Every structure is written in structure tokens, then in C-alpha cells.
């Protein structure tokens, strides 16, 4: 019998489209980004219009030496009686020029070299990587000193050399990005379509590379200014130039007579470098792939284990099920305010000795709801509504709708466990399989390491691994996908949990291996009597081992009930459509799906 939903508010399903705000917009909305842009603009204006803005000639020596800020000289005068404000304004030119030369040289070398090395590879790649390694092994300051010893004080030469020294950063950045894009299928498609390499590089790769290069360029500008002023401070610069570094040197000499003469150029240098650094940071934040916008209220963090789950003082809502989810609503905040709803008023339950399948397309919210059960939603997820009760303990409270992490910390692994989807990326590559199996057991069950090892070997055998000892001592990169998935299953059952959540456990596997893994799961349940939740998009799997099934679309459950009933007589049109879209039993050369479109996903 299809269970009808009893819910309080009308579910609307997933709402809101994921907004991708423009990069500039995001940058300027970030207060640090705004400040950075303002500072940099200020410096540029000073540099461009120094001639108009400066009240005095920056080289004009006068008799009023080392005066404090006053009406005529707004920032005072230096040791030769020159107006500090004017020198600051003109000095911005030298500063910006240094930064620009360094950045241009660095990008001019690193960008093309990285593109060619990443795209074409082979000997050029080897040669340039080797050259890069040598450059990176040289302390920049020492090299600048050696150059200075050779050619004397010349800011252009110094900054060009500096640019060469930092070009490896750009080279590596561009090369990595180019290599990753080159491997993309659409580049192959472009080549097949006959686009020239230049056009491919220009069109596709430069677009990817543009942002990281700008960020790196901002950092390089900041560092270039720091180096140049350091050299001038040491007295190794050109003393005839009116630059900020020379002003710091001058101020340092007169630091006891007039400390402010040191303050102004130091502040100018720090402010400019800070502007570049902030700009780079803000731009990086604005470009983050996952728009991890967080609302002001922090979501709960997973906490360390407490001794026992604190029983909910408020009346524990009665439920006869092992695990029940009621009216769960999960939302994510959007950049610029607002929220998207990914799971909207979902309810299901599971008991011992039964397998519940949760079926739906990608993006329907099925994985989200099980993560909520585990308490492993991403940091910025908001549980807006709902209750989750496990064995009488409320892990998501009815009144506050907060995930109770301390309760869940005691349950995870021990009473509720999880089999992830993609086997290879879910094992820690630095630890042997054996240690990853044993550790949770020794921790949660309190057994000795020797006992843990024995059990682990037994578990590996029980999930159908031929040579448990060998797998036990192997690292994840040494085993196949199928074996890894079995290992993950072994891990999930190792502490004998009451509920196992299997998130598309067979999607990443070959068909034959799929069947074996399903057998393993089924056998285990016969032995251990857990409740199993199987999340999948594959009705074949559902038909194979599930007892009950819930069909999700757009964050809602559209149909839920006994497997046989639903498969034979789907009452909701979405379920019907899904069933129809399976190839098995399909008449050849007919349309796969009916024309009525599915709901918009994203």
C-alpha cells in the first residue's frame, strides 16, 4: 500500500535556482575586497596625478628641515627640507612601476611557458620544469644582491630580475590548469572540430587560467614592492630617486630626531602591499567553486564524543520504527541572501530486517536526507524543519530543528553506519586498509589491536575478499575499485550497527561486481538483522534487494511503499516515467521517455 504523506505544510519541492553572482559583484560586496580596490585605486590616482596633487617639488631642498606636520607641509619635511607629502605622491610612481615591471615580466615568462608546457608537454615541459626548479631553489634576495653587485643600483634591472625569479609561480599555475583542461573532453571535441591550437588555448584555457593568474599577480606586486623597498632601505637602491624605500632609509637615519619621517613611507608601503594582498584574498574568495555562503548563525559542528547520548528532556515523540525521518526540510543559503530548498518535507522510516530503497534522479535530494540522518551535512546546510528519531533518541529535535551532534557522535559507526558511493576517494590514501578497519573498532568497541586485526580479517573474508591478509596490509591505491567497495562495506558493518546507509554503493562498479556486492549486502542482513537504507537511481537494484521504496523528485517524496506494489502499479506519473525509462523490456527504437518534461532540477 502506498503510504500517504501526512504533512503540515504543502511541500513545494526544491525552490530557488543557484545564483552565480558575477565575480566583480562578489568581490565588491566583500568588505575587504572593497577596501582593497579603494586603496589600489587611490595609489593609482596618486601616481597618475602626482604632478597636480603634489603641493611642492619633491626634490626641492629647503631650510625647514625635519619639521612636524603643519599648515604648509601637511606631513612635515624630511632631512633635506623636502615636502614629505609631495615625495609620497611622486614616490607612488616608482612603487607602482616596480610592481608593474615585476608582474609583467613574471607573467610574460610564466604564462606562455606554462601554456606551452601544459598543452604540448614533452621536451619543453621537461626543460622548463627543470629550469623552474632551479629558479625556485634560489633565495631571491641573494640573487638580487648578486645582481646589484654586478650592475650597481638600477631599479629596472632589479625588478626585471625579480620578475624572472617569481615567474615559476605563474608557470606552475598555468601549466597545471592547462594540463587539467587539456584532458577535458571538450578540448578533444574542439580539436576534432578542427580548431587550431591557438584558438583552443585562447578560448578555453585562458579563460580558466585568467583568475588564478590575476590573484597571483596581485600577490607578486605586493612582494615586489616589499623587496624593492627592502633593498632601498639597505642603501642598495638608487639614492637619487624619490621612492618610498629611499624615504624609509632617510627616515631611519633621522628616527630619533623626527620619528614621523619614518612613519609616512612605512605606512604607505604597508598600505599598498596590504591592498594587493587583500585584493588577492578577496578575489580568491569571490571565485570559490562551491559558493559556501554561510548565514550568520553558524551551523552546528561535529563535536567530540560525549559519554552517552543525552536523553531529550522534552517528551520523546513516540515511534515504533528503528529510524524515522519526519518532515525534514533542508535549505542552503544563497549569496546575496535567500535560501534554496533541496529537501522539502520528506518523511520515511526503516526497521530491522528490511531494506528501504530511496530512488530518484541526481539532484533529487536523496543523499542529502541520509546525510542529515548521519549528521554529516556540509557546514552551511540549514535544517529548517523536521525530526529524526533513532531508536527513541531524537537526533534532530522537533522544536529547534537543530542537529544534535553530540548524540550523533555516539551513534555514528557504532549504531548507524555509512557505505559511500565512490570507493577510491573514500579511503584515506595514507593509511593501510587494515589500519582503517581496525582503528574504529578499537575505539568504539574497546577491543585490543590484536583482536581488532582478527576481526578485520574475518570481515574482509566475509565480504568476499579472496586474500584478506594481503588486502589488510595494502594501501588503497593498490586495490581495485570493487575490492575497495567491499572494504568500505566491511568497515560499515565492523561495529555491528543497527542501521546501514548505503549511498549508491554500486554506481561506480562494473555490472558483475555490482551483483556480487549486492549479494554481500543481502547476506549480511540475513546474518545481522540491520535495517538498511539503500540510496540509488537504479530501479534494477531496488527490485533486486529492497523491501520498500520511496521515490524522490525535486526534494519531495512522490510515492512510498512496498516494492512489489510500486513497481507493478506506480501511481505517481513520475514513478511511471522512471520505470519507463529503463531499457529492460523496452521496445527497440522507440523514444526513451515521454515528452512531458521532468521538473527543472537546477
Partner 1 sequence: MLSRRSVLKGAAVGIAAVAGLSACSAEDTTSSAGGPKELVIGILAEPSSWHPAQTHVGHLLQPYQLAYDSLLLRQPDGTLKPMLATEWKYTDDAKTTLQLKLRTDVTFSDGEKFDASVVKANLENFKKANGKQVAMLENFASAEVGDASTITIKLAKADPAFEYYLSQAAGLMGSPKAITGTDIATTPVGSGPYTMVKAESVKGSQYVFTKREGYWNTSLQKWDKITLKLLIDVTARVNAIVTNQIDATLLDPNTRSQAEAAGLTLLQWPVDWNGLLLFDRGGKVCPALADVRVRQAINYAIDRESLVKNVAGGQATVTSQVFGPASGSSVEGLDKLYTFDQAKAKSLLAAAGYANGFDITIPMTPGDDITSNYIKQMLGDVGIRVAITAVPAADYQGTIGKGTYAMARFNLFQGPTWVACNQLIVPKTLYNPFQSTNDVIAPLLEATRGAGDQVGEKGKAVNQYVTENAWFAPFYRANQLYFYNAKKLKVTEQVQMAVPSIYNYEPVA
Partner 2 sequence: MLTFIGKRLASGVVALVVVACLTFVLLFTTSGNIARNIMGDQASEESVAAKAHELGLDRPLLARLGSWLWDAVHLQFGKSYFSEQQVVSAMVSRLPLTLSMVFVAIVLTALIATLLGVTAAVKRGVVDRVVQVMAVLGASIPGFIIGIVLVLVFAINLRWFPAVSKIGPTSKPSVWVASLTLPVIALVLNGIASATQQIRSAFIKQLELDYVRTLRSRGIPEREVLFRHVLRAAAPAGLTVLSLHFIGLLGGVVIIETLFALPGLGRLAVDATTQSDLPLVMGVVIYTVAIVVVVNLLVDIANGWLNPKVRVS
Interface residue with partner 1 among 38, 48, 255, 593 (CB under 8 A) is: 255
Classify the phi-psi angles of 582: left when phi > 0, otherwise alpha if psi is within -120 to 50, otherwise beta. beta
CB of 242 to partner 2, least distance (A): 18
Between the CA atoms of 593, 594, 600 and 602, what dihedral angle is there, to the nearest 10 degrees? 10
CB of 257 to partner 1, least distance (A): 5
Residue 356, strand partner residues: 533, 548
Nearer CB in complex with partner 2: 266/319: 266
CA–CA distances in Å: residue 38 to residues 91, 288, 397: 19, 22, 47
Residue 393, strand partner residues: 390
Of residues 126 through 155, those in contact with partner 1 by CB under 8 A are: 152-153
Distance CA 202, CA 31 (A): 33
Q: Does 303 participate in binding partner 1 (rule CB under 8 A)?
A: no
- Tell the residue number behind the cell numbers 558493518, with chain if given: 493
Q: Which residues contact 331 (CB under 8 A, 6 or more apart)?
A: 339, 340, 341, 342, 381, 382, 384
Q: Could you tell me whether strands 548-553 and 556-562 are parallel, antiparallel, or unpaired per DSSP bridges?
A: antiparallel
CB of 233 to partner 1, least distance (A): 11
By three-state DSSP, how is residue 397 classified? Answer: coil
Q: Does 252 participate in binding partner 1 (rule CB under 8 A)?
A: yes
Nearer CB in complex with partner 2: 146/314: 146
Cβ atoms within 10 Å of 213's Cβ, excluding its own = 22
Rounded to 5 degrees, φ, ψ at 128 are -70, -35
Binding mask 152-181 for partner 1 (x = CB under 8 A): xx----------------------------
Nearer CB in complex with partner 1: 153/363: 153
Nearer CB in complex with partner 2: 357/476: 476
Q: What angle do CA 265, 275, 223 make, to 5 degrees?
A: 75
Distance CA 479, CA 490 (A): 15
Nearer CB in complex with partner 1: 74/255: 255
Nearer CB in complex with partner 2: 13/309: 309
Of residues 39 through 98, those in contact with partner 1 by CB under 8 A are: 59-61, 63, 65, 79-82
CB of 374 to partner 2, least distance (A): 6
Residue 321 interaction partner, one of partner 2, partner 1, none, beta carbon < 5-8 Å per kind? none
Separation of first and last alpha carbons in the chain? 32
Nearer CB in complex with partner 2: 143/291: 143
Distance CA 349, CA 55 (A): 78
CB of 139 to partner 2, least distance (A): 4
Longest Cα separation, the chain: 101
CB of 238 to partner 2, least distance (A): 14
Nearer CB in complex with partner 2: 119/418: 418
Residue 69 interaction partner, one of partner 1, partner 2, none, beta carbon < 5-8 Å per kind? none
By three-state DSSP, how is residue 315 classified? Answer: coil
Residue 248 interaction partner, one of partner 1, partner 2, none, beta carbon < 5-8 Å per kind? partner 2
Residue 50, strand partner residues: none
Interface residue with partner 1 among 3, 176, 254, 576 (CB under 8 A) is: 254
Interface residue with partner 1 among 83, 125, 250, 404 (CB under 8 A) is: 250
Residue 134 interaction partner, one of partner 2, partner 1, none, beta carbon < 5-8 Å per kind? partner 2
Q: Does 302 participate in binding partner 1 (rule CB under 8 A)?
A: no
CB of 157 to partner 1, least distance (A): 13
Total residues binding partner 1 (CB under 8 A): 25
Nearer CB in complex with partner 2: 202/259: 259
Distance CA 106, CA 102 (A): 6
Nearer CB in complex with partner 2: 414/486: 414
Closest CA to 398 of 318, 339, 469: 318
Closest CA to 576 of 588, 563, 589, 593: 593
What is the DSSP code (8-state) at residue 588? T
Q: Does 260 participate in binding partner 1 (rule CB under 8 A)?
A: no
Residues in touch with partner 1 (CB under 8 A)? 59-61, 63, 65, 79-82, 152-153, 235-240, 246, 250, 252-257
Amino acid at each position: 500500500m502506498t503510504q500517504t504523506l501526512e504533512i503540515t505544510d504543502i511541500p513545494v519541492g526544491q525552490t530557488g535556482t543557484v545564483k552565480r553572482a558575477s565575480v566583480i559583484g562578489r568581490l565588491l560586496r566583500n568588505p575587504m575586497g572593497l577596501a582593497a580596490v579603494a586603496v589600489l585605486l587611490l595609489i593609482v590616482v596618486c601616481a597618475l596625478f602626482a604632478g597636480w596633487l603634489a603641493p611642492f617639488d619633491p626634490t626641492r631642498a629647503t631650510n625647514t628641515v625635519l619639521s612636524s606636520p603643519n599648515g604648509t607641509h601637511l606631513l612635515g619635511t624630511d632631512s633635506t627640507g623636502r615636502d614629505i607629502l609631495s615625495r609620497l605622491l611622486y614616490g607612488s610612481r616608482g612603487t607602482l612601476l616596480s610592481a608593474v615591471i615585476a608582474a609583467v615580466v613574471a607573467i610574460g615568462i610564466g604564462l606562455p611557458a606554462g601554456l606551452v608546457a601544459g598543452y604540448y608537454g614533452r621536451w619543453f615541459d621537461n626543460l622548463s620544469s627543470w629550469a623552474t626548479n632551479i629558479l625556485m631553489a634560489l633565495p631571491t634576495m641573494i640573487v638580487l644582491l648578486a645582481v646589484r653587485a654586478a650592475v650597481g643600483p638600477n631599479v629596472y634591472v632589479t625588478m626585471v630580475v625579480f620578475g624572472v625569479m617569481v615567474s615559476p609561480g605563474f608557470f606552475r599555475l598555468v601549466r597545471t590548469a592547462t594540463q587539467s583542461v587539456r584532458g577535458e573532453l571538450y578540448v578533444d571535441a574542439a580539436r576534432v572540430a578542427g580548431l587550431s591550437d591557438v584558438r583552443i588555448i585562447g578560448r578555453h584555457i585562458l579563460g580558466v587560467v585568467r583568475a588564478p593568474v590575476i590573484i597571483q599577480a596581485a600577490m607578486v606586486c605586493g612582494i615586489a614592492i616589499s623587496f624593492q623597498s627592502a633593498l632601498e632601505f639597505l642603501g642598495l637602491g638608487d639614492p637619487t630617486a624619490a621612492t618610498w624605500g629611499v624615504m624609509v632609509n632617510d627616515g631611519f637615519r633621522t628616527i630619533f630626531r623626527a620619528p614621523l619621517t619614518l612613519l609616512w613611507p612605512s605606512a604607505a608601503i604597508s598600505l599598498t602591499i596590504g591592498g594587493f594582498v587583500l585584493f588577492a584574498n578577496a578575489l580568491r574568495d569571490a571565485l570559490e567553486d562551491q559558493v559556501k555562503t554561510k548565514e550568520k548563525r553558524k551551523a552546528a559542528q561535529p563535536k567530540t564524543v560525549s559519554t552517552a547520548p543525552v536523553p531529550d528532556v522534552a517528551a520523546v515523540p513516540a515511534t515504533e520504527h528503528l529510524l524515522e525521518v519526519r518532515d525534514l526540510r533542508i535549505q542552503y543559503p544563497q549569496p546575496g541572501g535567500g535560501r534554496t530548498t533541496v529537501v522539502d518535507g520528506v518523511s520515511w522510516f526503516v526497521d530491522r530486517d528490511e531494506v528501504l530503497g530511496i530512488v530518484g534522479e541526481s539532484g533529487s535530494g536523496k543523499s542529502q536526507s541520509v546525510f542529515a540522518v548521519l549528521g554529516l551535512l556540509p557546514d552551511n546546510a540549514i535544517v529548517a524543519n523536521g525530526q529524526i528519531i533513532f531508536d527513541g533518541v531524537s537526533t534532530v529535535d522537533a522544536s529547534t530543528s537543530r542537529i544534535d551532534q553530540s548524540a550523533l557522535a555516539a551513534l555514528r559507526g557504532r549504531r548507524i553506519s555509512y557505505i559511500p558511493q565512490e570507493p577510491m576517494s573514500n579511503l584515506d590514501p595514507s593509511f593501510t586498509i587494515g589500519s582503517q578497519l581496525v582503528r574504529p573498532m578499537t575505539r568504539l568497541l574497546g577491543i585490543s589491536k590484536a583482536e581488532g586485526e582478527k576481526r578485520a580479517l574475518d570481515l574482509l573474508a566475509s565480504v568476499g575478499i579472496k586474500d584478506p591478509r594481503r588486502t589488510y596490509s595494502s594501501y588503497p591505491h593498490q586495490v581495485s575499485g570493487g575490492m575497495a567497495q567491499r572494504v568500505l562495506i566491511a568497515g560499515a558493518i565492523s561495529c555491528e550497527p543497527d542501521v546501514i546507509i548505503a549511498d549508491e554503493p554500486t554506481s561506480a562498479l562494473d555490472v558483475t561486481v555490482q551483483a556480487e556486492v549486492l549479494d554481500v549486502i543481502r547476506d549480511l542482513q540475513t546474518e545481522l538483522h540491520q535495517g538498511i537504507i539503500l540510496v540509488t537511481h537504479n530501479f534494477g537494484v531496488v527490485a533486486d534487494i529492497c523491501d520498500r521504496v520511496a521515490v524522490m523528485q525535486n526534494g519531495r517524496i512522490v510515492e512510498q511503499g512496498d516494492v512489489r506494489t510500486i513497481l507493478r502499479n506506480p501511481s505517481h506519473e513520475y514513478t511511471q516515467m522512471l520505470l519507463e525509462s529503463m531499457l529492460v523490456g523496452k521496445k527497440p527504437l522507440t523514444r526513451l521517455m515521454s515528452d512531458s518534461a521532468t521538473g527543472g532540477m537546477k
